[in-house]
Structure 1
Amino acid sequence: MKNPIKYLWMGVGFLAMGLGAVGVVLPILPTVPFLLLAMFCFAKSSEKLHRWFMNTKLYKNHLATYVKKEGMTVKTKLGIIIPVTILMAIGFALMGRVPIGRIILAVVWAAHLIYFIFIVRTISEKHEVE
C-alpha cells in the first residue's frame, strides 16, 4: 500500500457520496453536507477522483453553484432546511428535561434558517444545471 491515509479519505468520500445520493430521494438525510464532505475527501485522496466527482450529475445538480458562490435553488435550500428542521424538532422534543440543550438547539436552528434564507443567494432552477 502506497499511502493508507489516501485510501481512508477515498473510503470516507464514497461513503459520504452514497449517503448524499440516498439523501436525494430520502428527505430525512441532508444531501449537500454529505456531498461537500465527499468533495473534500476526494480532493484529499486523489486529483483524478476529485475531477471525476466534480463531473458527476450529483455534484452538478446539488453543489456546483454553491461551491462557485452563485447560490442554491429553492428546491436545494428546502432539501436542506426541511430535514434539518425535522431532526432538530425531534431532538428538541426529546430534551424536555434539558433546557440548555433546547436553547442551544433553537439557536443552531435559527442560525441555520438565517444562513440559508438570507445569506445563501437563491438562483433559478435553469441556472443550476448549466
Structure 2
Amino acid sequence: MLFVIGGFLALGLGILGIILPLLPTTPFLLLASFCFVKGSERFERWFKGTKIYQRHLESFVRERAMTLKKKLTILLFADAMIAIPFFLLNSIIIRGILLFIILYKYYYFFTKIKTVQTNKGVRHPVKNSHGV
C-alpha cells in the first residue's frame, strides 16, 4: 500500500512537472512507475495505459533514450537539489560524496542513455519547381 501511495505522490509531482518548468517530469514519472510495479499489478497496468506514461516514459523505457533537453533538465534540477546540502554542510567528506554523485550522474546520462533528436523544428529541404 505504501508503494501505491508513493506512486500517486510521484505521479502528482510528475504532472506538476509538466506544468511547471522547474520540476523535471521524467524522474517523478519513473519513480511513480517503479512504485506502481512494486505496489500493485492493477495500478501498474493502469499507469502504463495513461497518456502521461505513453507521452513521457514509454519511449524512454522501450529505447533507453532521451532528448538532450530532457537530459539537461533532469541533470540541472538534480544539481540544484544537491547544491543545497553541499553549501549548507561544512563536511569535506559529504561534499566529496556529493561531487562524486554529480559526476557519476553526468557520466551515466551521457554514456548509458542514448541522446535522440527531437522532431520539433526539423527543417526539411524545400524542393524547387523542378522537383530538385
Structure 1: tracts of 5 or more residues without a match: 1-6
Counterpart amino acid of 2:114?
R
Q: What secondary structure does 1:125 align onto? A: coil
TM-score (normalised: structure 2): 0.76
Query: Highest relative contact order (Cα 8 Å, sep 6+), 1 or 2?
Result: 1
Matches within 5 A, 1:8-47: 8-47=2-41
> In terms of Rg, which structure is larger?
2
Native 8 Å contact 1:31 1:79 kept in 2: no
Structure 2 regions of 5+ residues with no counterpart? Answer: 120-132
Aligned partners of 2:103, 2:18: CA distance in 1, in Å?
A: 24
**Following TM superposition, by how much is the alpha carbon of 1:31 offset from its aligned partner in structure 2, in angstroms?**
2.7
Measured on the aligned residues, the alpha-carbon RMSD in Å equals 2.0
- Partners of 2:60 and 2:68 lie apart in 1 by 12
Do residues 91 (structure 1) and 94 (structure 2) align? no
Please give the TM-score of this superposition, normalised by the length of structure 1.
Answer: 0.77
How far is 1:30 from its partner? 3.7
Aligned to 1:113: 106
SS of 1:72's equivalent? strand
Aligned to 2:52: 58
Paired positions, count: 119
Q: Percent identity?
A: 44
CA distance in 1, matches of 2:36, 2:98: 31
Structure-2 residue corresponding to 1:80 = 74
